[in-house]
Amino acid sequence: MENHLERESLSTEQQNICSMDLDTQIISKILKIINDEDKRVAFAVENVLPEVEKVVNLTVEAIKNGGFVFYIGAGTSGRLGVLDAAECPPTFSAPLDMFQGIIAGGDKALKRSVEGAEDRAEEAIRDLQRFKVKAGDVIIGIASSSTTPYVLRALEYGISVGCKTAFLFCNPSPLIPVKVDVLIAIDVGQEVITGSTRMKSGTATKMVLNMISTATMVRLGKVYGNLMVDLRAVNDKLVDRGTRIITQLTSLSYEDSRELLKKANEEVKTAIVMHVHRCNHEHATRLLAEHDGFLRPILERMPDRN
């Protein structure tokens, strides 16, 4: 493993000249410095879009073939992976296991730091085995520094069992060579607080994970235009949103759209098909299955009049 002198070469471990006197500044200046540095993150992410696209191609193909996507990381990186995976089911009605997040130290590490968890490389194998990772799945390792033993071992194991792999980190290049299908090296530069990768690195990581999951869901037919039509209305906010989507796409009144949503078992996409094709829930579900869940070709097809 790398020694401390090699770690010093990581940009995320170097001092940021723009915040060298941070402790002498008034609050407004501290906030301005942080905000100015955060503005650089989007441009850093823009530079890796070709690599992100490659990962999305991997995730879409894997899911279409019955595979799953696993984010794995430690600390902030792990928490962000768990967060992004957890938000996919309510947003896109995705199966709970389509995207899964694994964090070193387990669920208790979501709230509190588990000391040394990121250094216990072999636990990554046990965790992946517990999640039944197999050939055809995609493992996305996340480590801002690129050196986390837990993540590196997870990627090695994934490769050994036939997974597609990607490595997301926030330095120009990995300190330790890693053989994966896709490297996403986001050069965010130095952190405002030296080594505090929960800051710019965390922001960049969240942006890229959002891109991966969202673009994947779009390519799986869970979005129509920019509307989350695969939404399942499981709370008051989502009922309202789903009703408004139906109103927008059908020109029904809000009240009629709400009633239609109820008849469609709170499934927005199904409700829209039921209205356009004047059919029941079963027929609408069958139409969606025939078109792999994509709403657009169904709406463009002449409604059945039988």
**Count of C-beta atoms within a 10 Å radius of residue 18:** 14
Question: Is the backbone of residue 105 left (phi > 0), alpha (psi -120 to 50) or beta?
Answer: left
3-state secondary structure of 234: coil
Q: Is 53 one of the annotated active-site residues of the chain?
A: no
Which residue in the list 37, 118, 123, 191 is annotated as catalytic?
118
Of 297, 301, 295, 298, the C-alpha closest to 221 is 295
Give the C-alpha separation, 153 to 138, whole Å. 15
Catalytic status, residue 290: no
Going by C-beta distance under 8 Å and a sequence separation of 6 or more, which residues neighbour residue 261? 233, 239, 242, 243, 246, 267, 268, 271
Give the C-alpha separation, 230 to 234, whole Å.
12
Catalytic residue selected from 51, 61, 87, 259: 87
Q: Which amino acid is at 65?
A: N
Q: Are 119 and 152 in contact (CB under 8 A)?
A: no
Contact criterion met (CB below 8 Å) for 29 and 176: no
Any idea which residues carry the catalytic annotation? 87, 118
